[in-house]
Amino acid sequence: MSNAAIFPMVQALIEKMLTVKGNRMQRQILIKEEEIRAVLTEVREIFMAQPMLLEIRPPVRVCGDTHGQYYDLLRIFEKCGFPPYSNYLFLGDYVDRGKHSVENIILLYCYKIIYRENFFLLRGNHECASINKMYGFFDDVKRRYNIKLFKTFTDVFNTMPVCCVISEKIICMHGGLSPDLTSVASVMTSIAHVMSPIAVSCATCCGLTRRMTCRAS
């Protein structure tokens, strides 16, 4: 889908998803499967075009796990500013555990599509098929849509960057560092050689340590 076609659709989807701001019932949002597939196709192309190690400049707001807490995500934006008025770097774990994983990840992907140079998403250990099958995202997508769509989500997860360096000084990632990586330069050199997509152990990928196994954190 061309930019001329995808941008209006994504903007309309964002507007629909923001209509629930302040809703105390915290209801699910009806997102059509074709809308999700269009978003996933476009955002995958964006991730594939960007390196596995991002290098960005401030100002940027750095946010940790959101785990399907869509209404908490909206509160973050209400407090800190909706894109593009604030730049963001999220460190992973967008799905599982919470009740609104689909809404959570799709809104983030929509913002990535519209503001690709100011809105950044790293991969966490929960952006992983084996973890999703234990902690809820697989069941959520299967119940609301189908298994084929879950596999499409997984394909996108495998293309997401795993590390970000801010101003060549601050290293941001979901997990920890390998003891073999002792400086910003060593981190940047090691990750620069990682090619997307990655379908290996999520903990190995997101924690950058050679001895971790795929486990939830």
Our answer to whether residue 126 is catalytic in this structure is yes
Catalytic residue among 67, 100, 126, 174: 126
Preceding omega of 197 cis (within 30 degrees of 0): yes
Q: What are 116's two structure tokens?
A: 């690709």
- Which of 107, 112, 79, 82 is CA-nearest to residue 94? 107
- Which of 122, 212, 114, 110 is CA-nearest to residue 162? 122
Cβ neighbours around 107 below 10 Å, total: 24
- Residues found in the chain: 217
Catalytic residues: 126
